[in-house]
């Protein structure tokens, strides 16, 4: 693979860190343009994106530190995130709460901004995972055929493709303005987690240590998210003079589209 993209003097630009930075930048561009398209506030988005990235990276790195403390010679190495060694779930959780804090502080419409944030996450994830692929972060199981690269499954490349497809499909639905606020958030996060849960099985360490715990936590989050989604957007049964009426809150009513 290509763990180091290029060097300028003594400075090395690692694929992992470089693509995380690129993914964050492009996700930020998308977030600002999408917010403007929906006539939402954008003046605070730079700070929101910056702090969300910083806390997500710290959360992912700190989680990795507690799991693999023996790999660190001193506490200062905890900030060397560009060299790899992150736990994605730790980053997603801390990033979510940071993003939610800033959006709530600015009194933005929460569910609309969560929809945009989830789409932005898919952009950043797809590009960041390509950096992981170049850095060989995840070692896939031995394989042959057109799905294999160098005799193994390219798990991180599959993750990039999956996130990119999710983004394209959900963005299309979002652009048509037919989904209720918040539905895009649940679809994007559930889709991302489900994809990761399946792709984790292609790794050589899928049933060992951290990956096993990661899969259990991911499955738990998938179930919890689905229950919340069903509570908020599941069909509602009402009784009227004509009998039983089933309403779905997944789609906007026509008056909301005007």
Residue 215 has pLDDT above 90, yes or no: no
Q: Please tell me the predicted confidence (pLDDT) of residue 5.
A: 79
Which tens digits make up the pLDDT trace of 119-134?
A: 999 999 999 999 989 9
Rounded (10°) CA dihedral 50, 56, 57, 59 = 140
Residue 248 has pLDDT above 70, yes or no: no
Q: Please tell me the predicted confidence (pLDDT) of residue 195.
A: 94
With the C-alpha atoms ordered 35, 183, 232, 220, is the resulting torsion angle positive or negative?
negative
Q: Kindly report which listed range (28-37, 136-145, 152-161, 178-187) carries the lowest average pLDDT score.
A: 136-145
Which tens digits make up the pLDDT trace of 67-108?
A: 777 777 777 777 776 666 778 888 999 999 999 999 999 999
Q: Kindly report which listed range (41-50, 80-89, 114-123, 180-189) carries the lowest average pLDDT score.
A: 80-89
Q: Please tell me the predicted confidence (pLDDT) of residue 231.
A: 83
pLDDT (average), residues 25-31: 95
């Amino acid at each position: 693979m290509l763990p180091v993209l290029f060097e300028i003097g003594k400075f090395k630009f690692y694929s992992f860190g470089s693509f995380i930075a690129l993914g964050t930048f492009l996700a930020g561009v998308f977030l600002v343009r999408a917010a403007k398209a929906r006539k939402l506030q954008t003046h605070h988005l730079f700070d929101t994106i910056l702090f969300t990235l910083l806390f997500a990276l710290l959360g992912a790195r700190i989680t990795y530190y507690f799991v693999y403390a023996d790999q660190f010679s001193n506490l200062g190495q905890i900030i060397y995130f560009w060299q790899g060694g992150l736990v994605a779930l730790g980053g997603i959780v801390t990033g979510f709460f940071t993003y939610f804090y800033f959006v709530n502080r600015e009194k933005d419409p929460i569910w609309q901004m969560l929809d945009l944030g989830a789409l932005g996450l898919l952009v950043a994830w797809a590009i960041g995972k390509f950096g992981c692929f170049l850095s060989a972060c995840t070692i896939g199981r031995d394989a042959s055929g057109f799905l294999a690269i160098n005799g193994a499954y390219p798990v991180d490349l599959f993750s990039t493709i999956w996130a990119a497809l999710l983004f394209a499909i959900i963005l299309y639905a979002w652009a048509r303005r037919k989904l209720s606020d918040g539905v895009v958030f649940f679809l994007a996060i559930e889709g991302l987690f489900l994809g990761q849960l399946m792709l984790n099985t292609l790794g050589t360490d899928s049933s060992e240590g951290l990956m096993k715990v990661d899969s259990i936590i991911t499955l738990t989050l998938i179930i919890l998210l689905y229950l919340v989604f069903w509570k908020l957007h599941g069909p509602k049964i009402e009784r009227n003079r004509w009998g039983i009426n089933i309403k779905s809150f997944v789609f906007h009513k026509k008056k909301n589209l005007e």
